[in-house]
């Protein structure tokens, strides 16, 4: 049986490209806002382009925070992409507006760089032990964003119950979080679906890691 992946449909603009890329990665993909389908699938993808506040409004409208929270409570995989990654954090500050996110990790803020938005291809500093980047550790990935995660709290205990998240970094003006692998919760600031062969490998690695 094929791995069942749901792309959460809350009005985000990059759903079609994400759907196609996941199909190429070997998943059986459904695009829907249906809560039951999102709960029951093998992997849930939260895409996102545009403003943090607008994405959060759309996600709340389809009960996204509860869907994600219930999946993670049961150890069921979730992948966030671009703003779909950012909304997993506790808040995002854009143009002076602070919007509450889903609260899984610390917050999002504007990059300090000479040119914004950050648009184009970047290498990344892959976390040791990464499953997501296996085989593409030295490749480049496509980013489009002006905001990101600039700090990461590394006070999570390394023990049998709570493993330290694997944090991959990139730099545009200053270092920012490019990806996080935190048990069932995985997210990328870059767009794997727009990152050519390297992005296809990232998505395939994620699909193949699903239980």
Active site residues: 82, 191, 193
| Max Cα-Cα span within the chain | 49
Are 153 and 106 a contacting pair, CB within 8 Å? Answer: yes
Give the whole-angstrom CA distance, residue 48 versus residue 150. 19
Give the whole-angstrom CA distance, residue 32 versus residue 47. 12
What angle, rounded to 10 degrees, do the helices at 15-24 and 196-209 form?
Answer: 70
- Residues shown for the chain: 211
Q: What share of the chain is helix, strand, coil (3-state, %, to 5)?
A: 25, 30, 40
105 forms bridges with which residues in the sheet? Answer: 89
Name the phi and psi angles at 183, rounded to 5. Answer: 65, -125
Are 15 and 46 a contacting pair, CB within 8 Å? Answer: no
């Amino acid at each position: 049986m094929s791995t069942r992946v749901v792309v959460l449909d809350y009005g985000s603009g990059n759903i079609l490209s994400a759907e196609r890329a996941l199909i190429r990665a070997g998943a059986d993909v459904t695009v829907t806002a249906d809560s039951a389908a999102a709960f029951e699938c093998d992997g849930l993808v939260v895409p996102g382009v545009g403003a943090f506040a607008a994405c959060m409004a759309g996600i709340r409208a389809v009960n996204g925070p509860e869907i994600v929270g219930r999946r993670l409570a049961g150890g069921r995989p979730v992948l966030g992409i671009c703003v779909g990654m950012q909304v997993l954090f506790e808040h995002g500050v854009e143009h002076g507006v602070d919007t509450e996110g889903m609260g899984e990790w610390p917050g999002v803020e504007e990059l300090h760089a000479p040119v914004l938005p950050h648009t184009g291809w970047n290498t990344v500093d892959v976390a040791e032990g990464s499953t997501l980047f296996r085989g593409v550790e030295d490749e480049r990935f496509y980013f489009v964003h002006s905001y990101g995660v600039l700090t990461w709290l590394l006070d999570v205990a390394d023990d049998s119950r709570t493993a330290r998240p694997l944090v991959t970094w990139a730099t545009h003006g200053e270092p920012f979080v490019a990806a996080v692998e935190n048990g069932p919760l995985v997210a990328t600031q870059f767009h794997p679906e727009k990152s050519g062969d390297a992005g296809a490998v990232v998505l395939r690695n994620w699909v193949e890691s699903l239980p």
